Structure 1
Amino acid sequence: MCAIPAPAFVNDHRDPPLQLVVDDHLRLLKRCLKRKDDLMIVGPRGCGKTTLATRITEELGYPTVVFHFGAILDVELALFGGMALRNGETLFIRGRFLDAICTPNCVIILDELNRAPTSVQSCMLSLMDFQHRIVVDQEAPERRIVERAPGVMFIATINLGAEYVGTEPLDAALLDRLKFIRLDYSKQEEQLLRSRGLPSREARKIVRMGHTIRKAYADGGIAETISTRGLVMVGDLIADGFSLKQAFEAVVAIFDPDGLAALNAILRAKS
């Protein structure tokens, strides 16, 4: 396994914000990766949580498996497996999760863990405590106990807030087994927009609008906010010839007339 490099080396042409996010949190990440301490990254949507988790582990050469709980229809089947017919026999086919926890030094990223059912949280408890194992009832007797391989580490990401539908409360016992990184929107959003070809003046204007929208959302003035990802989408629309008003209206998820009026008032005031 390669050593963790200095922050200046951790970069990725596919995702310019990576370096900006990693610098602030490299020390804790380095410790958790070295000691294989399980970790949770918490922050608003679109601020780089999953990017931070996946890109640094891939960059450093760790085998990495990602489970996006917001995109899995049958979570237990996808993770643990199920019965299937093979050559006339009904056999239990293991899911990717069981294969991953048996892979030494694998980093397992549990994206949007609070969208997983409580049964998944329960199984994570025994994997993260001193037992380091789970029992899979459908397996053959000699394979029912699945041990967590040496060096396996879990990184969970979550969006917290009442506005996220389909989420489950997180078990306090599970949270007690984790270290935490709290991400906020990058302080280098203007640099990110410039890296995508926008002139400095336009980039500053978009970021200023974003900050005002976030403040209005925090104060209860509007019903929606905008993420770093959203600002990038606005910048791309403006680069393609759309006006500032058209770009923000296309990205900020506000649909009622009063909300749109409030958004447009912000845009006019900051233009």
Structure 2
Amino acid sequence: MTWWAKRMRRMRRPRPPLLHVATDAGTGPVVILVHGIASSSVTFYEVIPLLTPNHRVIAVDILGFGQSPAPDGCEYRLEDHVGALATTIRSLKLREPFVLVGHSLGSLISTRYATMERHGPVATFWRRLSGRGTVSRMVLVGPPVYVSPSDIGDPRVKARVSAYLRAYDFLRANKEFTMANVAFLSRLLPKGIFELTEKTWTPFIKSMEHCIESQTVVSDIASLTVPVDVIYGALDAFIAQGSLTIIERMRHVTMHRVEANDHIIRRRLARVLVKVIDS
């Protein structure tokens, strides 16, 4: 394929849609918040009031969730999510570096975005040269890190990760069971924190399959040169014990364990998150 044919093929691809910006408040250094699967920007309801006194806080709904678009035929691959996030961030016309915060699936999306921003096409270089905002720091909250079981040496960690992947496969294949259980859990949480509807079922199962079960977050984190902080709850049921070991050994990664906190960003974890951002 000639360079011209490749160029024309890229031009025929649909432009990634703009995401819904649910919050843009406060003044100061910019912090962008990206939530996870089956959720919305409400994920950060404990965080935003703590950040806005000293920061400009921007929270988006990811592709297919919250009030963001759900394009027909979208496969919700990592590149689909990242493309929409990149288009949205460009539309903000930021001039200063910003902190990018991702929760759960949002941490995988945010990390890939930061990787592509620093190692992407030549246009990225010119964007940086022009003084536009780039990622200065990554904060990943509850990242679901699942390395392929075949690449795990420790048999205990291998068994745990394999069990998680089998569970996700079961959830995708059993819609009624999954919807009923999520509906029960959502009644225990603030509206929008963890919800699954007919509208979001396709984004949910495709994002799970194409982003969480098939992921590159370890190599993405390894390729970054900016500081990376990982915050996770000691009771987080979505993190397989021992699965974070591979990233906590990286020099540019700092780990923060929050006791008595699960996968949800509750008040205790929110305070740790804000302290990390302010540091």
- State whether TM-score is above 0.5: no
TM-score normalised over the length of structure 2 = 0.31
TM-score (normalised: structure 1): 0.31
Larger Rg: 1
